[in-house]
Amino acid sequence: MARLQEHEGKALFKIAKMPIPQGAVAKTPAEARQIAEKIGKPVVIKVQIWAGGRGKAGGVKFADTPEEAEKIAAALLGMTIKGLLVEAVLVEEKLDIAKEYYAGIIVNAQADARCPVVMFSTEGGMDIESVPADKIAMMNVDVIRGFKIYDALNLANKVKVPSAHITQVARLILGLYETFKNYGARLIEINPMVITKDGKVLAGDCRISIDDSSAIRHPELGISVARESGTPPTELDKIAWWVEEKDLRGTCYFAEMNNQIQGECFGTIGYHGMGGGGAMLGVDGLNKQGLRVPDFADTSGNPPASKVYRAAKLVFSQPGIDGYMLGGFMAANQEQWHHAHGIVKALREELPKRPGFPVMLLLAGNKEKESLEILREGTKDLNARIRIYGGERVYDTVGLAAEMKEMVLEYKKERKG
């Protein structure tokens, strides 16, 4: 997963010699107790899940004694917070907070920037989106020149960080930039950066997303699915990643998603798109007809038939689908017969289990005629509602989705009756 948990991020901070609170990860209540004993003062116990807003959701608790820490850990471990199972907690010294700051780095892809942007604010502890722009100091970094300690000092100075701890703050910002660069992060934040009552500056919490294409350089991070997502990978997502990782020819992309229809929903379509843009087109069309799409799949870049077959099987393995659509909304450069072969094999395995099942197959481009022939020949004896189209309908998202809806309604009625 491209997003790191708090304790994983803090381990990277430690490598960069950035001050973090004393603490360790516990997977059992007994471990939590031992850590609290070692710390020897009141502790905070934080669930390790990769969702924000853990405090409000009840995932951050304080304990004065090791016994209390054990009890709290016992309650938190195994809980489900924001749909995520708590498998570990971070036990840390409780900080005596005087002030909370914010530091973060993102990548600005806009034409006039195309560079990292370092942000710093004395308004920490809350979502940076809700901090007024004039309270945030920002700097676009020229990566050829690099980011220097005095850049960090200037950022802190701009929002009037007191001299007493400005050098500590600047060192943390510099460490953050080095971590961002060394690990290929897309986004990295310290929020809050804590100023304690005795004048220390530490990274209280952290958020790090590693760029998918940089993850390959850092096997030590143990990223299981190097794909950006709003939610942790599902079992099917992990299988899809396994398919992708084992065979680098072309792309097999599959991700479950929460796709909701505004208004009445007439059915759920297992969706198998082709090419990023073309695949998106099909979802646009289906949604407009009130058909929900529980997954986003894409096989393109000239994958072998075996990979296409596996993607189709993943799409079919989703429970509760009322139809399958191969959304080849592109005049492909790749030779389409590999797709045709992979799809036929999957359909011949899946459709006998689902009499009357609606299937829409759109395939266009290179070797189209031959590919459509393979699809027709390979499915003609199957008892299902199968429609096969080529280039003449490559952009007919609306018409094809409308036909799909008709078939789905018939199929659902037939199954009820």
Show the 3-state SS of 82-111.
CCEECCCEEEEECCCEEEEEEEEEEEECCC
- Contact criterion met (CB below 8 Å) for 122 and 161: yes
- Contact criterion met (CB below 8 Å) for 274 and 335: no
Number of other residues whose CB lies within 10 A of the CB of residue 416: 6
Q: Which of 37, 93, 123, 211 binds other proteins (CB under 8 A)?
A: 211
- Contact criterion met (CB below 8 Å) for 7 and 25: yes
Residues 137 to 176: which contact other proteins by CB under 8 A?
142-144
> Long-range contacts made by residues 60-64, C-beta under 8 angstroms, separation at least 24?
62/94, 63/36
Indicate the residue type of 393: R
Note whether 53 binds other proteins by CB under 8 A.
no
Q: Which of 121, 122, 191, 259 binds other proteins (CB under 8 A)?
A: 259
Residue 235 vs 392, nearer CB to other proteins: 392
Note whether 117 binds other proteins by CB under 8 A.
no
Size of the site for other proteins (CB under 8 A): 63
Indicate the residue type of 98: A
Note whether 179 binds other proteins by CB under 8 A.
no
Q: What is the contact mask toward other proteins in residues 71 to 110, using x (rule: CB under 8 A)?
A: ------------------------------------x-xx
Note whether 253 binds other proteins by CB under 8 A.
yes
Give min distance, CB of 56 to other proteins, in A.
19
Residue 19 vs 276, nearer CB to other proteins: 276
Q: What is the contact mask toward other proteins in residues 120 to 139, using x (rule: CB under 8 A)?
A: ---------x----------
> Long-range contacts made by residues 230-239, C-beta under 8 angstroms, separation at least 24?
231/83, 231/258, 232/1, 232/50, 232/84, 233/1, 236/295, 236/314, 236/317, 236/318, 239/314
Which of the ranges 12-20, 47-55, 381-389, 392-400 carries the binding residues for other proteins, by CB under 8 A? 392-400
Residues 360 to 379: which contact other proteins by CB under 8 A?
364-366
The answer for residues whose C-beta is within 8 angstroms of residue 386's C-beta and 6 or more apart is 347, 359, 361, 379
Our separate counts of H helices and E strands in the chain read 11, 20
Q: Which of 171, 227, 272, 339 binds other proteins (CB under 8 A)?
A: 227
Q: Which of 29, 66, 275, 294 binds other proteins (CB under 8 A)?
A: 275
Please give the Cα distance from 275 to 280 (Å, whole number).
8
- Contact criterion met (CB below 8 Å) for 91 and 28: no
Give min distance, CB of 396 to other proteins, in A.
6
DSSP 345-406: HHHHHHGGGSTT-EEEEEEEETTHHHHHHHHHHHHTTSSSEEEEE-GGGTT-HHHHHHHHHH
Quick one: how far is CA 320 from the chain centroid?
A: 24
Q: What is the contact mask toward other proteins in residues 16 to 35, using x (rule: CB under 8 A)?
A: --------------------
Note whether 287 binds other proteins by CB under 8 A.
yes
Note whether 214 binds other proteins by CB under 8 A.
yes
Residue 61 vs 310, nearer CB to other proteins: 310
Give min distance, CB of 14 to other proteins, in A.
21
Q: Which of 37, 247, 373, 396 binds other proteins (CB under 8 A)?
A: 396
Which helix (H) or strand (E) is 37 found in, with range? helix 29-39
Give min distance, CB of 69 to other proteins, in A.
33
Strands (E) located in 113-205: 115-121, 136-140, 185-196, 201-203
Note whether 198 binds other proteins by CB under 8 A.
no
Q: Which residues form the interface with other proteins (CB under 8 A)?
A: 107, 109-111, 114-116, 129, 142-144, 181, 184, 186, 211-214, 216-217, 227-231, 251, 253, 255, 257-259, 274-281, 283-285, 287, 293, 296, 298, 300, 329-334, 364-366, 391, 394-399
